[in-house]
Amino acid sequence: MRFHSLPGSKRYADNETEYAIVLDRHYTVLSELGPGAVLLVVTSEWTEGPAATPQMWPRRSEVAPSAWHWQTLLADPEEEPEYRTYTQLYGETIPWRSGAIDTLLRAVADDELSNVILAPADLRWLYHPYDGGADVILPTREQRDALKAQHRDWLSQQSSGL
């Protein structure tokens, strides 16, 4: 399901009051999901080569200072070598508390960082914030419907739900 981070499906915050709404909505849903003691943060970066180095991910020190390189994915193995792109995945676990990922969530809200996945250590749900909201993947339809009912005002008014 998809939640919008600002009233009226507004995509970007213009002031600190709106940033407070964005953060409050993210933390409200994350808290209701119950991440436990730690939150897993997965971020990614596209590169032209398979090697992962800190120089390839300049935001790492800003938004995920203790992230480790998890794995490299090749987008299309059939592609000619000079056109191949790689996705570097980085993981980090952080103690869960409100405010723990403010910098990360603001970077995502401003479209400075994308392709972020948040999850509890047991991966029982996935939370994908994006500039404009968040997608939530839950293990059961019942859990999804219950969360959706709690925050109907945060849902898209489009028939597609996007």
Note the residue count of the chain: 162
The pLDDT value given to residue 25: 97
Give the model's pLDDT for residue 111.
94
CA-to-CA distance for 107 and 59, rounded, in angstroms?
10
Q: Residue 159: is it exposed, middle or buried by C-beta count within 10 angstroms (0-12/13-18/19+)?
A: exposed
Q: What is the pLDDT of residue 44?
A: 84
What is the full per-residue pLDDT of the chain (162 aa) written as tens digits? 999 999 988 999 999 999 999 999 999 999 999 999 999 999 888 777 776 555 544 444 344 667 888 888 888 888 888 888 888 888 899 999 989 999 999 999 999 988 999 999 999 999 999 999 999 999 999 999 999 999 999 997 766 556
Alpha carbons 16 and 1: distance in angstroms, whole number: 27
Q: What is the pLDDT of residue 97?
A: 92
Distance CA 89, CA 77 (A): 17
Alpha-carbon Rg for the chain, nearest whole angstrom, is 17
**Tokens 């507004």 belong to residue:** 10
